[in-house]
Amino acid sequence: MKIVRKLKTGADGTVGPRVLPWKVMVVDDEPDVLRLTALNLRGFVFGDRPIELLEARSAEEAKQLLSEHSDIAMALVDVVMESDDAGLKLVEYIRKDLKNLMIRLVIRTGQPGVAPERYVIDHFDIDDYKDKTELTAQRLYTTVRNALKGYHDLQTIELNRLGLSRILDVTPDLYNLHRNKLEDYFQGVLMQLIGICKLGKSGLISTIDGLVATVDGEDIHIRAGAGDFDTLNGGDTRRQEIVRLCSQAVITHEMPDRLRNGAMVLPLQVGGSVLGFVYLEVGDKLSASDRELIQIMANQCAAALDNFRLHHSLEESYDEAIDMLGHVAEFKDSATGTHIRRIQAYTHRLALAMGCTGGEALAYAKASRLHDVGKVGIPDSILRKPGPLTDDEFAHIQRHTLIGDAVLKRSPSLAMARLVARSHHEKWNGKGYPDGLTGDAIPFVARLVAVVDVFDALVSVRPYKGAWQKDAALAQIREGIGSHFDPAIAETFANLIEKGDMDDLIMAAIQVSGRSEPCPEDSAFVTASGH
């Protein structure tokens, strides 16, 4: 479905397209030349856009205009003004200091002997050279038109380059989409539409997030914008009205009457589902191929949005699976239920302190919730035994690492949680279980969980021990550096504890336990029970 409607300006309140003039700067110290230029260019139109003349009587005045107008399309520059080479120095300032390669520069001089044509063309980055005596009204028209056409073509090429670059940068990550990546992709597509189809600079891409119920019955987020809509977070009346009208159009399949002349609204549609829309303010002269290209790129946007939604649906399913299995472990061993939630928080903070990205830290934290999922296969008589375990019982409880591994291996999406479940009782010196791994052979996430798991077990009440005070538990962690724990991870964790960055979690453990005591004699129980 493509919705296109051209509206006429009239008493019904519709408005025509917003037309921006081409800005042409005239730099000359002769008032007569300025007046004659303005007279000869009166009524000038190129590409359905008029021109706006900006006059400067010196190179210094021109620099001021350049600082105030970043979108000057061309400049007619006299050579001799406040100095014999003021115009040439202005050209160098524009190209080298401002690094403005887009503006078209035309040198025109009444004293060609001062600045010979061949010398100026060979040594200065200009686009044309004219003797003032040859710039009749017709010649001036031709010169300005050619310069504006060159500027417009360069704009189109640059928009294509930037848009394509943005798309190519994001495309490799389309299947690992985060919100900012999706918006970068949409912004690139919008720039491509504007560039390839030679449109103006007003357009936006918006998504309707599934008919999420809000006060007005729909929840809309602008993902990309240009021109009037390049500030996405604003709330101006016109943008709000356009979003409302476009949403109405793609839902009802009827074009509202209050959009600008030449406006296009295209739904982002996959199958029978409308996921959002593209809105563009265009002129009346788009070719059939331009419109077809716009539709193709809108379809690509819809496919990207659909991939994004499917991706996050899978992420939500993964999170639900983690939560479900975590609840199973909590139900099996209510004494460690809140322990599991604290482990998640400890792991997240520790991973960030170790320099992990936010995404990595979150993934490790989620995986940590399932470190003891294998305890579903351990008899309650062992899990809840109020004293030290026998050798047989300890061998039996060690099996929870292998049981957790077996449970989680059925789902590839739980691969990281599987590493944690199997290896969080490995020790840096190789004396852990079940595989006797040493050093860096132990998965990083399992090394994180090993430290926080022991610490939280120490400061919590268990059937076989009382709760330790923070200082005693921290001393036990430090004692295990280089033997039980990865030195770098354990040191980082200890520093966080000393700075008080984990005090809220420690207090949570104490509140659940109901007491905190110095109980170093219980350390044997912690090891023997597998915490």
Q: What phi and psi values does residue 483 have, to the nearest 5 degrees?
A: -115, -60
Residue 410's CB: how many other CB atoms inside 10 A? 8
Are the C-beta atoms of 78 and 30 separated by less than 8 Å? yes
Residue 295: burial class (beta carbons within 10 Å; 0-12, 13-18, 19+): middle
Give, as one character, the DSSP assignment of residue 465. B
**Cβ(28)–Cβ(78) under 8 Å?**
yes
Helix and strand numbers (H, E) in the chain are: 19, 11
Which of helix, strand or coil describes residue 205?
Answer: strand
Burial 42-63 (b: 16+ CB within 10 A, else e): eebebeebebebbbbbbbebbb
The answer to whether the beta carbons of residues 469 and 431 sit under 8 Å apart is no
Kindly compute the dihedral angle of the four CA atoms of residues 111, 115, 119, 125, in this order, to the nearest 10 degrees.
-110
Q: Which residue has the tokens 């200082």?
A: 471
Half-sphere exposure of 93 (CA within 13 A, CB side): 15
Asked if residue 375 lies in contact with residue 332, where contact means CB atoms within 8 angstroms, the answer is yes
Query: Nearest 5°: phi and psi at 485?
Result: -115, 150
Angle between helical axes of 444-458 and 337-353 (0-180°, round to 10): 130
Do residues 413 and 321 lie in contact, with contact meaning Cβ atoms separated by under 8 Å? yes
381 CB-near residues (< 8 Å, 6+ apart):
none
Residue 385 DSSP SS3: coil
Q: Specify the residue for token string 């990309």.
A: 224
Supply the angle between the helices 400-408 and 415-423 in degrees, to the nearest 10.
170
Q: Ramachandran region of residue 355, left (φ > 0), alpha (ψ -120 to 50) or beta? A: left
What angle, rounded to 10 degrees, do the helices at 179-196 and 288-332 form?
Answer: 180
Distance in angstroms between the alpha carbons of the first and the last residue of the chain: 61
Q: Cβ(454)–Cβ(526) under 8 Å?
A: yes
Looking from the CA of 6 toward its CB, the CA atoms found within 13 Å total 6
**Active site amino acids:** 375
CA distance 39 to 45: 14
